[in-house]
Amino acid sequence: MCESPRPVVVPALLFAALGLFAQAPAQRPTFDAFDVATIKPTPADWRGGRYIRMPSPRRFVATNYTLRVLLGAAYNLTPRAILGGPAWLDSDHYDVIAATPGEIRPNLDEQMAMLRKLLGDRFMLRFHREEKEFSVYALSVAKGGPKLKESTVSPDEDPVIVSQLYPGGVLLPARNATMAQFATVMQRSIFDRPVLDKTGLSGRYDFDLEWTPDETQFDGQRQETKESAKPGLFAAIQQQLGLRLESTKGIVQALAIDRIERPSEN
């Protein structure tokens, strides 16, 4: 005797269960402004250096920044390309602590967009753009080609490029970094002039750069010195990365301040 076919129910129940428990991926917020933020003077006894970082996915921190330098970071300019403004732009130091919207960590561009909005609102900033010729450094590939390792990290992950000063030297480890991002870090925190990426390299790279700094770098503020066998920055870039920095002239879209005030109460 033939058995009648049994109804197929398990797959249907399985699909139903999957439908019940499946979760849609988290939607990326619009990072146009911080949820909440405070701006306060840096304590006079602060000795911890200057940095911008996100210690957790929703917490943004900028510590020990003059406003001119902070504006340079926010607008991806060297501080020298922030024109005009009162003397306190270079004397008052500020700390920024802010919470970002949603549960997803914003990337660097999104962080800077929120920082620009905050600085505009709290400092009543008004400005216009001016084309201005500056002494610049051009970053290019040295004879013999680059000595760079392609990064294996996902392009979606934030790059890490942080200079670490120690007595007599500087170590700059870079991970998942483009040459444009490397040039940006040099013009923001190392040099007092713009750095233009002329390498033509479009990849993301992992590298370590180590050198002995001089008085033209880091606003002339040097760590306690001691004997160092490391080369200067220009030689280190060529020897360790297969790149070169050349002093030249270039046109930069500077930011000229029309109005600015000390920050409103938090």
Average pLDDT over residues 62-69: 94
Q: Residue 20: is its pLDDT beyond 50?
A: no
Q: Which helix (H) or strand (E) holds 228?
A: none
Least confident of 9-13, 35-39, 75-79, 195-199: 9-13
Residue 9: which pLDDT band, with cuts at 50, 70 and 90?
A: very low
Average pLDDT over residues 193-220: 91
Q: Residue 10: is its pLDDT beyond 50?
A: no
What would the two tokens of residue 2 be? Answer: 């033939």
8 Å CB contact between 162 and 171: no
What would the two tokens of residue 208 be? Answer: 């370590």
* pLDDT confidence of residue 48: 81
Query: Which amino acid is residue 59, in one-letter code?
Result: R
Instruction: Tell me how long the chain is.
Output: 266
| Cα(136)–Cα(142) distance, integer angstroms | 18
Average pLDDT over residues 173-185: 94
Give me the residue spans of the domains in the chain.
36-259
Q: Residue 15: is its pLDDT beyond 70?
A: no
**R_g (Cα) of the chain, nearest Å:** 24
Task: Considering only residues 86 and 193, tell me which one the structure prediction assigns the higher pLDDT.
Answer: 86
Question: For residue 83, which phi and psi values (nearest 5 degrees)?
Answer: -95, 140
Burial of residue 125, with CB atoms counted within 10 A of its CB: 0-12 exposed, 13-18 middle, 19 or more buried: buried
CA 36 to chain centre: 21
Query: For the whole model, what pTM was predicted?
Result: 0.75
Q: What is the DSSP string of 5-35?
A: PPP--HHHHHHHHHHHH--PPPPPP--SS-S
Q: Could you give the percent of the chain with pLDDT greater than 70?
A: 86
Residue appearing with tokens 């962080």: 111
* pLDDT confidence of residue 91: 96
Average pLDDT over residues 222-231: 66
- Half-sphere exposure (Cβ direction) of 22: Cα atoms closer than 13 Å: 7
Beta bridge partners of 250: 134
Residue 229: which pLDDT band, with cuts at 50, 70 and 90?
A: confident
Residue 13: which pLDDT band, with cuts at 50, 70 and 90?
A: very low
Which tens digit of pLDDT belongs to each residue from 122-174? 999 999 999 999 999 999 999 999 999 999 888 778 788 888 878 878 999 99
Average pLDDT over residues 5-33: 56
8 Å CB contact between 211 and 170: yes
With left for phi above 0 and alpha for psi between -120 and 50, is residue 146 left, alpha or beta? beta
8 Å CB contact between 229 and 210: no
